[in-house]
Amino acid sequence: MVSYAVTLLSGGLDSSTVTALAKNEVSNLTALTFHYGQSHSKEIDCAKAISKSLKVEHTLLDISFIEKISWYSALTNPEKFPIPTNSEKNQIGFNIPITYVPLRNTIFISLAASLLESNILNSIEINGANPDDVEAIIYMAPNFIDYSGYPDCRPEFYEQISKAINQGSKIYTEYGIPFNIKTPIIDFTKADIAKLAYKLSVPLEKTWSCYRGTDKPCQECDSCILRAKGFKEANLIDPLCE
């Protein structure tokens, strides 16, 4: 079986851990990072460094036009919508925060699937590969336990988007090759993710979870708060906070 796999790598703790996990499962892996008009580029630089450290092929796609359509977010329009700070831990995840980027994961999955389908169709129709020996995998790092409340991080979303992507693709409707969207940490706590990252030797010092692009994590945004909570509960040291 030949696996064509893409892992969506933002440069954060979660996606870096899933990328390391994917590398152990498949040999033909591409880490895909999007420049979607986010408020800073630090996470993109981190994604490049992580890919290099893990020895995974890396592709950066500039889709910065997204900020013009998904503008109702603190991550794409921080001048209009300030990033929330110092939220209570027990309140994070109960409402959809202003850091939610409208339909971001829907867009990301569609682009990743498009890249995979092009590669697979070329393999089958140009190079003569047997469709029965080909599989398409998209690795993603949503988390539904210690999370910020984004609707596109829920298991229900991935169940439905998988069906839609398959029904709209040639590799599935003509060749019977389904897109397998793997979300291996979707039911992990942040502590579970931190432990797995240590186990997989993820270069944590190169990751970036903060919503801001400052020299050091702000320790005030929801993402920083959740990350700190995870390392504390796992009794592990976050190298970014030493």
Distance of CA 224 to the CA centre of its chain: 16
| Confidence (pLDDT) at 27 | 84
Q: What is the pLDDT of residue 138?
A: 98
| pLDDT above 60 for 63 | yes
What is the reported pTM?
0.93
Host H or E run for residue 66: helix 66-69
In this structure, is residue 242 part of a structural domain? no
- Mean pLDDT, to the nearest integer, of 207-227? 91
Query: Measured between alpha carbons, how far is 125 from 161 in angstroms, rounded to an integer?
Result: 26
- Report, as an integer, the average pLDDT of 91-116: 89
Band the pLDDT of 91: cuts 50, 70, 90.
Answer: low
CA–centroid distance for 21 within its chain:
13
Alpha helices in 101-189 (DSSP H): 104-121, 155-167, 170-173
How deeply is 213 buried, as exposed, middle or buried, from its count of CB atoms within 10 A (0-12, 13-18, 19+)?
middle
**Contact predicate 28/4, CB 8 Å:** yes
The pLDDT score that the predictor gives to residue 86 is 66
Residue 38 is predicted with a pLDDT of 85
pLDDT tens for 51-62 read 999 999 999 999
pLDDT at 90 over 90: no
Average pLDDT, whole number, for the chain?
Answer: 93
pLDDT of res. 145: 80
Q: Tell me, what CATH number does 133's domain have?
A: 3.40.50.620
Q: How confident is the model at residue 87 (pLDDT cuts 50, 70, 90)?
A: low
- Residue 190 is assigned to a structural domain of this protein: yes
Q: What is the pLDDT of residue 49?
A: 97
Instruction: Please write the tens of the pLDDT for every residue from 106-137.
Output: 999 999 999 999 999 999 999 999 999 999 99
Residue 93 pLDDT level (bands cut at 50, 70, 90): low
Maximum pairwise Cα distance, the chain:
56
- Residue 219 host element (H or E): none
Q: What is the pLDDT of residue 127?
A: 96
Model pLDDT, residue 114: 97
Domain assignment of residue 33, yes or no: yes
Q: Count structural domains, the chain.
A: 1
Would you report the helix, strand and coil content of the chain in percent, each value rounded to 5? 45, 10, 45
Average pLDDT over residues 202-230: 92
Q: For residue 73, is it within any domain?
A: yes
**Interacting residues of 126 by C-beta distance below 8 A, sequence separation 6+:** none
Task: Answer whether residue 205 shows pLDDT above 80.
Answer: yes
At residue 84, what is the residue type?
P
Q: List CB contacts of 4: < 8 A, sequence separation 6 or more.
A: 28, 116, 119, 120, 123, 134, 135, 136, 137
- Domain membership of residue 210 as a residue range: 2-237
Domain annotation covers residue 200: yes
Evaluate whether residue 103 is within a structural domain.
yes
Examine residue 29 and state whether it is found in any structural domain, yes or no: yes
